[in-house]
Amino acid sequence: MTLHLHPRPPFLYTQQIENHEYIKAQLMPHILSFYQEHKDDEDYHWGNINVVNNHHHQSVELFTNQILNDLIWNPTDKMIEEMNGHYPVPAQSHLAGIWWNIYPAGSYAQVHDHRGYDLSGVYFMHMNEPNTLVFQPDSNDSFFPWTADTLYTDKMTNEGSLVLFPSGLKHYVTPVSEMRITISFNLICDVSDKKKNPMQILLS
């Protein structure tokens, strides 16, 4: 597990998912089957990658409570435990959205963020090459301590890894050389008064 803390946000947290092989065995056959059936359907595209989320298809029912615990809630609890007071802790969180991304060889994801949510995650379910997910802070956002030309890629991230990060942190994926499949999600963290609570700074 790797926790990158800064005097001020952002942070990145990386953890290897213990039940990775089980999760991959449960999800990947269905995801690949759905991809083969719908890979040319523009309704399931974002740029040049294939995306299916909980607004698209009932396939998200594949995410059983056991998988959600292994993939989201247990790692999030572990992250909060390891922060050990460096950042404020939300009273509770709930899942706002979950989806899968299929990157055919040569595809990429443009710079984006998940603003409107609080905490986001990417699970590398299938990846046979070095990580190419890059994080870049917004030079116009005073919350971020890095300069605009500061980029960060966790080279230790491999298949089976989960990366958690504040939803406002910009990121992108450089072109992949082999097919990659990731699971992404957004969480909303409940705080009694975000105007007074430093969680607002953490998660903005």
Q: Tens of pLDDT along 57-92?
A: 445 578 889 999 999 999 998 888 887 666 666 778
Locus of tokens 């499949």: 181
Torsion 6-7-10-12 (CA) sign? positive
pLDDT digits over 133-171, tens only? 988 866 444 333 433 445 566 667 899 999 998 888 888
Cα–Cα nearest to 122, from 162, 158, 94, 153: 162
pLDDT at 13: 85
pLDDT at 9: 46
Token reading at 82? 């390891």
Domain extent listing, the chain: 2-203
CA–CA separation, 51 and 35 (whole Å): 9
CATH topology of domain 2-203: Jelly Rolls (2.60.120)
